Amino acid sequence: MAIIKPFRAVRYNPHRVADLQTVVSQPYDKIDDALRDRYLTLSPYNVVRLILNPPQPGDIASGPNGYTRARDLYQQWLREGVLLREDRPAFYVYRQTFTIEGRTRTRQGLIAAVELVDFDQGIILPHERTHSGPKEDRLRLLETMQVNTEQIFLLYPDPDNAINDLISGAIAGRAPDLDLVELRESDVRQQLWVLTDPATLSALQKSMAPLRGLIIADGHHRYSTGLTYRDQQRRTHPDAPPEAAFNFIQATLVSMSDPGLVILPTHREICHFNDTSPAEVLRRAAEVFTVTPVSDLVTCLEQVNMHPSGHVFGFYGGPGIGFYVLALKDVGQLDTLIPEAHSPVWKSLAVSVLHKVLIERIAGVPTQGIEDQTMIRYHRDARAAVASIDAGQGNFAFFVSPTRLEQIKAVAARGETMPQKSTDFYPKVISGLTMLPVSPEERL
């Protein structure tokens, strides 16, 4: 069963924070140092001070450090009334309205406490690989604060959008309780409605209960961290009931059939790597790809996106090399090109061909340089990769088409995980809307 529960969220107090858009942020893994500095200047109460507290001289593992500062600030803001705890359990309807490729869309989600379940139960599934560094970081924050400061993003199967219709009906005719934009994705309207009607809460729980095969869209590291924290608390508190809050994680649930669901590609820039020149990459690629020069980035991306198979890639080797389109000559070669024990569905993914064939086999980039991200940068905007290479900060770049939802479902259903950064769900589920306390004494 997919068990969801309403919860008494901790939220910003609009009477203490006049402009709530100054306190929200992108999720922690989308925030670099420059963006964090911008958030810090917006407000002394910006949520980035909790989710990504900046290091300071004298920090030590046992404290003071960014984790203990985040905990102390959270508790201080509660005492001062900057943050308030809801007096009744609630679900929260979360709508994001945005324009992409000239079309305005709205994606609708439901913020709830979702029961943590191990992946082998088949109720909640991952679709991307995780790495140890981010999990250790998020676990330290969770252990220190004992609060879900952010939401993960879950997709649930709802072919007829029946649950979505139920959610829409619950807020019909109501003005949102929160209506704002966030700094980085400032063209996205973020709206929140609080649902406390017992009949509505019960109906939503019953509708979700039979579902299986929910997929983590964003938040793999936080979900894995939640499982570890849950297991720790269960060992320490073996008599805690099932409704103990540490058995749950805060999530935004979105229907797989939601018309506002958008997946963008994530392009790869190879950096700090000089073993293979851009010209040599093209020479080697010509053995298994048709290599065609094109005039500019726009043309390159257009040709990449014209092929729904995803077996066509863009390449930029710098001003002296230019742009190319690489089209796989023979899909039947995939078993030879990717000899690892993966399913045909996995091997046919654009990101799998990109990593296993182009980046590792042809370019020769060491696997460790990809794992620890010392030799790769990920870009939503292909222009940023080109600018970095032109500035001498990168070696070459590959451009890829977006992963399709049916591919994500097929891979997750087989218990496989895609390479990291295989998907970019747009827009991001922002931080600072709701928080879920998960200390041992909390109950849902």
Residue-wise pLDDT for 388-402, tens only, equals 999 999 999 999 999
360-369 own/partner pairs: CB under 8 Å, 24+ apart = 361/337, 362/281, 362/284, 362/285, 362/288, 363/270, 363/273, 363/276, 363/281, 363/284, 363/396, 364/275, 364/276, 365/270, 365/273, 365/276, 369/272, 369/273
The pairing of strands 103-115 and 248-255 is antiparallel
In whole angstroms, give the CA distance from residue 341 to residue 328: 21
Alpha-helix residue ranges (DSSP H) falling in 176-312: 198-208, 220-236, 278-285, 297-305
Please provide the size of the chain in residues.
Answer: 444
What's residue 173's pLDDT? 96
pLDDT at position 146 is: 98
Residues of the chain with pLDDT under 70: 131-132, 308
- pTM: predicted TM-score of the whole model, two decimal places: 0.93
Task: Show me where the domains of the chain are located.
Answer: 4-262+427-437, 266-401
pLDDT at 25: 98
CA pair distance 10, 134, nearest whole angstrom: 24
* CA gap 215, 125 in Å, rounded: 5
The pLDDT tens digits of the residues spanning 363-415 come to 999 999 998 889 999 999 999 999 999 999 999 999 999 999 999 999 999 99
pLDDT value, residue 130: 72
Strands 248-255 and 152-156: parallel
How many Cβ atoms are within 10 Å of 341's Cβ, its own excluded?
A: 6
Helix, coil or strand: residue 374: coil
Q: In the CATH scheme, what architecture does the domain 266-401 have? A: 2-Layer Sandwich (3.30)
- Centroid of chain to Cα 361: 28
Q: Are 367 and 359 in contact (CB under 8 A)?
A: no
pLDDT of residue 308: 66
Backbone dihedral angles phi then psi of residue 148, each to the nearest 5 degrees? -80, 100
Which among 273, 422, 280 has a CA at the least distance from the CA of 355? 422
Token pair 């949520």 is at which residue?
A: 47
CA distance 34 to 377: 16
What DSSP line would sit under 138-204, residue for residue? HHHHHHHH-EE-S-EEEEE--TT-HHHHHHHHHHTTPPPSEEE--STTTTSEEEEEEE--HHHHHHH
Q: What is the pLDDT of residue 373?
A: 87
